[in-house]
């Protein structure tokens, strides 16, 4: 099982980004088969869970990639609510 970080913009394009993050927090998604889960697979599951048909600029990435981006200061955390899921 792999951990993914989910970033939902605070711009309000999703119903309520904070509630959305809390709703999916710690969710374990079954991607199926022996296929390695990808960020796109996880994003599709999250969109289904939130009941949205558009990604609304939701970002999903493996935790290692997120840590690199955050530590390299390539991400402005003020623009997002953050959650995590497993797949």
pLDDT digits (tens, 9 = 90+) for 34-86: 678 999 999 999 999 999 988 889 999 999 999 999 999 999 999 999 999 99
Angle between helices 17-24 and 39-50 (to 10 degrees): 110
Nearest partner of 23 among 58, 68, 65, judged by Cα:
58
Could you tell me the residue ranges of all domains in the chain?
Answer: 3-86
Contacts of 35 (CB under 8 A, 6+ apart): 41
What is the pTM for the complete model shown? 0.90
Cα 80-84-87 angle, rounded to 5 deg? 135
Three-class DSSP category at 75: coil
Length of the chain measured in residues = 87
């Amino acid at each position: 099982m792999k951990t993914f970080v989910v970033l939902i913009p605070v711009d309000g394009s999703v119903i309520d980004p904070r509630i959305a993050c809390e709703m999916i927090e710690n969710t374990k998604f079954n991607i199926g088969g022996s296929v390695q889960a990808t960020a796109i697979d996880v994003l599709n599951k999250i969109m289904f869970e939130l009941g949205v048909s558009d990604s609304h600029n939701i970002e999903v990435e493996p935790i290692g990639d997120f840590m690199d981006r955050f530590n390299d200061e390539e991400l402005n955390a003020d623009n997002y609510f953050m959650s995590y899921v497993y797949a």
